[in-house]
Structure 1
Amino acid sequence: MIISINDHVQLIRPDGKAVFPYSNSLFIKGDPSVLIDAGAGGNAFSQLKEPVDIILLSHNHYDHIHGVSFFPNAQVWASREEAPGYGDPIIHASYNGFEHWEKLMGKPRTKRLADTEVMPPDVPVRPGFIPIKLWGLIDEGSQWDTGRERIIALHTPGHSHGHCSFWLERSNILFSADIDMSPYGPWYGAENSDFDQFELSIRRLAEIKPSILSTSHRRLFYQGEDDIPGLFLDYLDIALQKEHNILEYLTQPRSFMEIASQPFVNNHPSKTEYTEFWSRMMLRKHLQRLKKQGLIAETGEGQWFRI
């Protein structure tokens, strides 16, 4: 599905909901023409009649990059921080944190993510390492001028260490990628995720006050109809409330597994081994953050308690 935002900017959405393995893309007509992210699926991209000159990848997650092969003539750009992961499967694997699986889950990992789901026919590759040849590297403040639009890259780490958002300056449209207004809050469940950075990135985007907000997995938000700065802060508050609940639960020493079993830790509706693992990775980051803040401590037996 293609939704025209104005005469030169289009939202490209998958046929169904923009949830894994899909994500929204943004297309900016011009010379050059620019596509932001490549996860909307082949059915959606087949409706795009204009050629794509440049692809800007917000970050190296499967649901944002699997459609790059649909545009063989496009120049692909990605963040400098995550560029090594597009060419080296070992570096790419290090971003995930699966080496923590057995400790956090209490058992070995027996199935790869690619083995747990069947991908739709318009998704050309399976989850895992996808080698992509990069034409350019994205830094904070990198710019692309299409004639009618100036696209400015914003380094917004947290979801991943190289995550970028993109501000269309002339139209005041913000593409915040996976700072996505999910009703379940921010996702920071990978090894290269950082909640402190995520909080700063969310607060930074809230200050921009865009006229239109486009995210990777939700609808368009319009200032006037939606309180966009407030949406960012409400989104952040979901994670902060989780952290508060963790702190409140530690009135007596608790093991990691005891904390992980509490319903406020995993609020995702899909209860799979992988969503449980990612929730525990996020719990691990909250415990480390609270310890760094001097609010909790850990005993030699691995019990966590509030100071």
Structure 2
Amino acid sequence: MAVEVAPDIFRMEVPLPGNPLRSVNSYIIRGNDDGNMMVDTAMNRPECREVLERELSDLDVDMTRTDVFVTHMHADHLGLAPYLTGGRGTVFLGKEDAAFIDESDYWMRMYAYGVMNGFPRLDPMEAIRKHPGYRYGPLGEMNLRTLAGGERFTVGRYEFRAVHTPGHTEGHMMLYEKEEGILFSGDHILFDITPNISLFEEDKDPLSEYMSSLKMTRELRVENTFPGHRTPMKDPGPRIEELISHHLQRAEEAFDILRDSGPMTAMDVASRMTWDMRGSFEEFPLMQKWFALGEAIAHLRYLETNGKVGVRERAGILRYSLI
């Protein structure tokens, strides 16, 4: 059941069956004659469509008068945007994330880089089809408008601004209302779980970007934070400090593994890192190993940027070692 979390702002918690995330938060900001704004949707799967359609009906939301602000490109946030808008409302998405939507080789490039970092060599499409981002991503045309950050939106009583916070994805956007101190943080700041920072390409350092984005967010005056998953909170300041500390500790853990064990692939590093899951790394489902690998690569790249780790390629495989 939708809950009013601030005047004219409603939170809809949409279940994600069989997914460790458990659910995703979708929000409705009720407008006046200028229409409504929806913040994030859910995965493109029947269970999510059924819940969202029921909640939107209960709130008497006319989707023909509703635009959708998508914090980032992941399927649990973007997946239902084409279906819900039907090509009528505008879908707003960070320009860096939007660029990936039309890349026909996006998934193959990710898989190939994963193999270079030690991921098992499988039938590429067999592996890709198991990824929830591929299985439950958006289908159909969207009236898409890309964002660079700084764009302003008037919705009812509120004046929002898009805030670019790269890290979780390169084009991640938050929606911020300065006067009331309201922040839709997407997956940039989560309170009950830790945002995943992953990397599956060359020449990027998402963890350094994420740290900078956190420090920038720390300067905003925020009284209510509405995240993409789990529980809304008030001031995000203490959580920002926890997230910075967490990722520094994870980078230190990856450093210690290389110090103790010598050169190895990112998959080898990931298998030795600690994870908040039951069982050994070998027992993880394939997709959980994939997400762990992406996080390990991101932390190794952060160490590389900071001059602590080097990487060498041999026979198409990347191995990391201390400098």
TM-score in terms of structure 2 length: 0.79
Cα distance change of structure 1 residues 300 and 161 upon mapping to structure 2, 3 Å threshold? closer
Aligned-pair distance for 1:91?
5.6
- Within the candidate set 146, 149, 152, 2:158 is matched to 149
Retained in 1: the 8 A contact 2:191–2:233? no
**Per-residue displacement from partner, 1:73-93 (whole Å, max 9, x unpaired)?**
32222222222333x251653
Cα distance change of structure 1 residues 222 and 276 upon mapping to structure 2, 3 Å threshold? same
- Structure 2 equivalent of residue 32 of structure 1: 35
Query: C-alpha separation between the residues in 2 aligned to 1:221 and 1:269?
Result: 28
Retained in 1: the 8 A contact 2:111–2:128? no
Q: Secondary structure at the match of 1:279?
A: helix
Retained in 1: the 8 A contact 2:73–2:97? yes
Retained in 2: the 8 A contact 1:22–1:64? no
Q: Secondary structure at the match of 2:139?
A: coil
1:78 paired with 2:87, answer no
Aligned-pair distance for 1:62?
0.7
What 5-or-longer segments of structure 1 have no aligned partner? 120-124
With 52-61 and 149-158 compared, the bigger mean Cα shift is at 52-61
1:51 paired with 2:62, answer yes
Query: C-alpha separation between the residues in 1 aligned to 2:10 and 2:209?
Result: 30
- Structure 2 equivalent of residue 122 of structure 1: none
Retained in 1: the 8 A contact 2:92–2:146? yes
- Structure 1 equivalent of residue 322 of structure 2: 306
Query: C-alpha separation between the residues in 2 aligned to 1:83 and 1:299?
Result: 32
Retained in 2: the 8 A contact 1:181–1:232? no
Aligned-pair distance for 1:190?
4.3
Query: C-alpha separation between the residues in 1 aligned to 2:3 and 2:20?
Result: 17
- Structure 2 equivalent of residue 100 of structure 1: 113
**Per-residue displacement from partner, 1:42-87 (whole Å, max 9, x unpaired)?**
313422212232111111111112222123232222222222333x
Query: C-alpha separation between the residues in 2 aligned to 1:269 and 1:77?
Result: 38
Retained in 2: the 8 A contact 1:14–1:22? yes
- Within the candidate set 220, 228, 233, 1:216 is matched to 228
TM-score in terms of structure 1 length: 0.83
Query: C-alpha separation between the residues in 2 aligned to 1:194 and 1:108?
Result: 27
Quick one: higher RCO (CA 8 Å, sep 6+), 1 or 2?
Answer: 2
Query: C-alpha separation between the residues in 2 aligned to 1:62 and 1:300?
Result: 32
Structure 1 or 2: larger helix share?
Answer: 2
1:259 paired with 2:272, answer no
Cα distance change of structure 1 residues 114 and 100 upon mapping to structure 2, 3 Å threshold? same
Query: C-alpha separation between the residues in 2 aligned to 1:21 and 1:130?
Result: 22
Aligned-pair distance for 1:295?
1.5
Retained in 1: the 8 A contact 2:253–2:273? no
Retained in 2: the 8 A contact 1:185–1:236? no
Retained in 2: the 8 A contact 1:101–1:109? no
- Within the candidate set 292, 301, 309, 1:296 is matched to 309
Q: Which amino acid in structure 2 is aligned with residue 173 of structure 1?
A: I
**CA-based RMSD:** 3.0
Q: Secondary structure at the match of 2:6?
A: coil
Aligned-pair distance for 1:279?
1.5
Aligned positions, number: 294
Query: C-alpha separation between the residues in 2 aligned to 1:298 and 1:207?
Result: 35
- Structure 2 equivalent of residue 61 of structure 1: 74
Retained in 2: the 8 A contact 1:56–1:76? yes
Cα distance change of structure 1 residues 32 and 159 upon mapping to structure 2, 3 Å threshold? same
Aligned-pair distance for 1:300?
7.2
Aligned-pair distance for 1:163?
0.8
Cα distance change of structure 1 residues 243 and 70 upon mapping to structure 2, 3 Å threshold? same
With 13-22 and 25-34 compared, the bigger mean Cα shift is at 13-22
Query: C-alpha separation between the residues in 1 aligned to 2:211 and 2:53?
Result: 33
Aligned-pair distance for 1:298?
4.4
Aligned-pair distance for 1:152?
0.7
- Structure 2 equivalent of residue 285 of structure 1: 298
Q: Secondary structure at the match of 1:83?
A: helix
Aligned-pair distance for 1:282?
2.2
**Per-residue displacement from partner, 1:124-150 (whole Å, max 9, x unpaired)?**
x94246344234222211011123001
Q: Which amino acid in structure 1 is aligned with residue 72 of structure 2?
A: H
Q: Secondary structure at the match of 2:68?
A: strand
Q: Secondary structure at the match of 2:175?
A: strand
Query: C-alpha separation between the residues in 2 aligned to 1:158 and 1:273?
Result: 24
Aligned-pair distance for 1:169?
2.7
Q: Secondary structure at the match of 1:170?
A: coil
Q: Residues 57-206 of structure 1 correspond to what in structure 2 (within 5 A)? A: 57-68=70-81, 69-72=83-86, 73-86=88-101, 88-90=102-104, 92-93=106-107, 97-103=110-116, 104-109=118-123, 111-112=126-127, 114-115=129-130, 126-128=135-137, 130-181=139-190, 185-191=194-200, 194-206=206-218
**Per-residue displacement from partner, 1:212-253 (whole Å, max 9, x unpaired)?**
111111211024xxxx20112212322211101111233252
Aligned-residue sequence identity (percent) comes to 17
What 5-or-longer segments of structure 2 have no aligned partner? none
